[in-house]
Amino acid sequence: MLRVHFKVVYVLVKLFATLIEFTGKRKLEISGPKTVRELLDELERTFPGFKKELEKGHIILVNGKNIEHLQGLDTPLKDDDTVSIFPPAGGG
């Protein structure tokens, strides 16, 4: 029997604040993206205008770590990673 193994990356995406209203979702699973950039492209395809929502600023975390201190949009994603995406926010 021939078995073909495809290496598919499944990423858990968590959305917050206005992004919940924009997409109608708090959590979703996305397969395929190898970097944060590819993930955002995929989200843009699913929810046209998604990237525009992040234009004024955003916080993107991969497993709780801000991508600014990883490799930015080129931060690689692996199976079971959690990506949290926030629009700009503050308080205190």
Partner 1 sequence: MYGNWGKFLRVNLSTGEVKVEEYEEELAKKWLGSRGLAIYFLLKEMDPKVDPLGPENKLILTPGPLSGTSAPTGGRYNVVTKSPATGFITMANSGGYFGAELKFAGWDGIIVEGKAEKPVYIYIKDEHVEIRDASHLWGKVVSETEEAIRKEIGSKKVRIALIGPAGENLVKFAAIMNDGHRAAGRAGVGAVMGSKNLKAIAVEGSKRVPIADKQKFMLTVREKINKLKNDPVAGGGLPNYGTAVLVNIINENGLYPTRNFQTGVFEHAYEQSGEAMAKKYLIRNQPCYACPIGCGRVNKLPTVGVTEGPEYESTWAFGANLGINDLASIIEANHQCDEFGLDTISTGGTLATAMELYEKGYLTDEELGDAPPFRWGNTEVLHYYIEKIAYRKDFGDKLAEGGYRLAESYGHPEYSMSVKKLELPAYDPRGAEGHGLGYATNNRGGCHIKNYMISPEILGYPYKMDPHDISDDKVKMLIIFQDLSALIDAAGLCLFTTFGLGADDYRDMLNAALGWDFTTEDYLKIGERIWNAERLFNLKAGLVPERDDTLPKRFLEEPMPEGPNKGHVVRLKEMLPRYYKLRGWTEDGRIPKEKAEELGIAEFL
Looking at residues 68 to 87 of the shown chain, list those that interact with partner 1 (rule: CB under 8 A): 68-69, 84, 86-87
**Cα distance from N-terminal residue to C-terminal residue, the chain:** 60
User: Per CB under 8 A, does 24 bind partner 1?
Assistant: no
Number of residues that bind partner 1 (CB under 8 A): 24
Per-residue x/- track, 25-54, partner 1 (CB under 8 A): -x----------------------------
Interacting residues with partner 1 (CB under 8 A): 14, 16-18, 20, 26, 56-57, 59, 61, 63-66, 68-69, 84, 86-92
